[in-house]
Amino acid sequence: MDVMTKPSAIAPMHPADIPAVAAIFYRAFRRPDQHPDDEFRAYLEQSFFGSPSYDPARAGLVHRDEDGRIDSALLVIPMQVSVHGRTITGRLMSNYMTDPQRRTGGGAGMVLTIRARNQDFCFSDSANAVSAGHWKAVGGKVLPIHSLDWRMVFRPARWLALRARSRLPPFVHRLVSGLALPVDAMLRRMLPKMSSGPVAHVAPMCRPAFIAAAPRFVERFAVHPVWAPDELGWLLDMAARNTVDGPLRLLEVHDDSGALCGCCAVYARPGATAKVLNIMTTPGSEAIVVGHLLAYLDALGCVAAQGMAQPFLLEALGQQKRMSFVPRGAYCISTRHNEIVDAALKGDCYLGGLMGEDWNRLVTDFHD
C-alpha cells in the first residue's frame, strides 16, 4: 500500500520557524562558511514579529516541502498606512529567499501571493531587476523617482578613498586617506560651495518631540504612514540598533523666524557618508530644510550624504550645487486600490526611510 505524502504548502511564518528561516537566509545571502548565531536569530524575530502592528494574517510566509521542511520564505513587516484618511495595514516586503541547496517551486508560489488584486498595499524599497520584473508580472508598479538615491559629496577625495577601501591593502588605504585630506582642502577652496544653510538652524531633537512631530509633517500626503506612537517608537528603537553608518540622529530644523519647519532622521558620523532616512517638512519649506540639513552634515565632518529621492523634494534637491542621483534599487508597490496607485504615480505619497527597510540591519549588517 502506498504511503500518501503531505502536499507542499505556503503558510504564515511563526516564531518557531526562525531557526530554519535564519539558516536559509545565510545560505542565500551570506558566504557558504557563515552560519547564523543567536544574535541574528533574535534580531530576525524582533524585526518580523516585534512590531506593534504585527498581525499573523499579514505576516511573512514560508513554504514547506512534502516532508514538512521549510525551503522558501518571504519576510514581511506590517505597517499602518493612511489612504485619504482611511487606515489600512501595509506590508513591507523584505527578503524573499529560497534554499539554494534544495529544488523547490515554493518561491514562485510566494511571488503570486503579492498579486495586486489580492493586496491592500504591499511595497518594497530595494528590489533588484529580477524582483522588479516579478512585481510587474503580478500587476505591481515600479516608482521611478523613489527608485533613485540623491547624493551630495562634501569631501570628494576622502569619499573616493572610502569607496576604494575594500579593494586596497590596508597600508595603501591609509596612505590614500592621508593624501585625501589636503586634496579635499584644496578642492573646497576651488569648487562651488557644496551645501547651503545656517548650521545654527539645525539641532538635535528629543525622541518624544520627534514622535509627536513626524506624523504631522506627513499628513499632507494622500498616502502616508500613520506612525502611531507605539509603532514609530518601535521603528526608532530598531533603527537605533543599526550603527553601521553611524549613530541615529533625530534633528529638528527651524526657519529664520525660529519656527519648526522640518525634522529628519539620519545616520551620521564624521569621516563617513551620512545615510538620510527621512526628511519631513512643512509645505514650501523643502529648500530650507534640505539646505540646512546638508550644511549641518558638512559641518559635522561627513564626507557625503545620501538618501532616497522623493518627488516632493526634487526641486529643493535640484537647487543644490553638485547634487547627483544614482540608482538605489526599484521601489515597487502592489495594491488593488486605484487611489493608492494614482497617488503614488502623482507623487502624492510619503514613502521610504522608516517606512521602508533602510533602517534594518539585515540590509547592512551581519556580514562577518
pLDDT, residue 6, reads 47
Within this chain, do residues 119 and 162 fall inside the same structural domain, yes or no? no
pLDDT category of residue 171 using cuts at 50, 70 and 90: low
Indicate the number of domains in the chain: 2
Within this chain, do residues 52 and 169 fall inside the same structural domain, yes or no? no
Compute how many other C-beta atoms are within 10 angstroms of the C-beta atom of residue 139: 16
Within this chain, do residues 284 and 308 fall inside the same structural domain, yes or no? yes
pLDDT, residue 2, reads 38
- Asked, for residue 166, whether it belongs to a domain, the answer is yes
- Asked, for residue 356, whether it belongs to a domain, the answer is no
For 64-102, how does the pLDDT look when each residue is reduced to its tens digit (9 = 90+)? Answer: 888 888 988 999 999 999 999 999 999 999 888 888 887
- Asked, for residue 332, whether it belongs to a domain, the answer is no
**Rounded Cα–Cα distance for residues 141 and 146 (Å):** 12
Within this chain, do residues 137 and 164 fall inside the same structural domain, yes or no? no
Within this chain, do residues 51 and 177 fall inside the same structural domain, yes or no? no
- Asked, for residue 349, whether it belongs to a domain, the answer is no
pLDDT category of residue 132 using cuts at 50, 70 and 90: confident
Task: State yes or no: pLDDT of 186 exceeds 90.
Answer: no
pLDDT category of residue 165 using cuts at 50, 70 and 90: low
- Residue for grid cell 511595497: 123
Within this chain, do residues 158 and 279 fall inside the same structural domain, yes or no? yes
- Asked, for residue 61, whether it belongs to a domain, the answer is yes
Strands 86-98 and 122-127: parallel
DSSP codes joined into one string, 286-308: HHHHHHHHHHHHHHHT-SEEEEE
Q: What are the Cα distances from residue 306, in Å, to 3, 125, 252, 300?
A: 58, 15, 18, 15
SS3 per-residue string spanning 86-98: EEEEEEEEEEEEE
SS3 per-residue string spanning 169-185: CHHHHHHHHHHHHHHHH
Within this chain, do residues 218 and 281 fall inside the same structural domain, yes or no? yes
Which grid coordinates are listed for 24?
536559509
pTM, two decimal places: 0.90
CB 151 within 8 A of CB 324: yes
The mean per-residue pLDDT over the stretch 250-272 comes to 95
Within this chain, do residues 264 and 317 fall inside the same structural domain, yes or no? yes
Which grid coordinates are listed for 130?
529580477
Within this chain, do residues 228 and 308 fall inside the same structural domain, yes or no? yes
pLDDT, residue 9, reads 85
Sequence-distant (≥ 6) Cβ neighbours of residue 49 within 8 angstroms: 15, 59
**Rounded Cα–Cα distance for residues 174 and 178 (Å):** 6
For 194-229, how does the pLDDT look when each residue is reduced to its tens digit (9 = 90+)? Answer: 556 677 799 999 999 999 999 999 999 999 999 999
Closest CA to 8 of 95, 72, 74: 72
Q: Chain-wide mean pLDDT for the chain?
A: 88
Of 147, 164, 181, which residue is a domain's last? 147
- Asked, for residue 235, whether it belongs to a domain, the answer is yes
CATH code where residue 283 lies: 3.40.630.30
Within this chain, do residues 142 and 265 fall inside the same structural domain, yes or no? no
**Rounded Cα–Cα distance for residues 74 and 63 (Å):** 9
The mean per-residue pLDDT over the stretch 178-185 comes to 66
- Asked, for residue 317, whether it belongs to a domain, the answer is yes
Q: Which 3 state secondary structure label does DSSP give 281?
A: strand
Task: State yes or no: pLDDT of 284 exceeds 70.
Answer: yes
Domain span including residue 123: 9-147
**Radius of gyration, alpha carbons of the chain:** 22
Closest CA to 351 of 177, 224, 242: 224
Within this chain, do residues 128 and 168 fall inside the same structural domain, yes or no? no
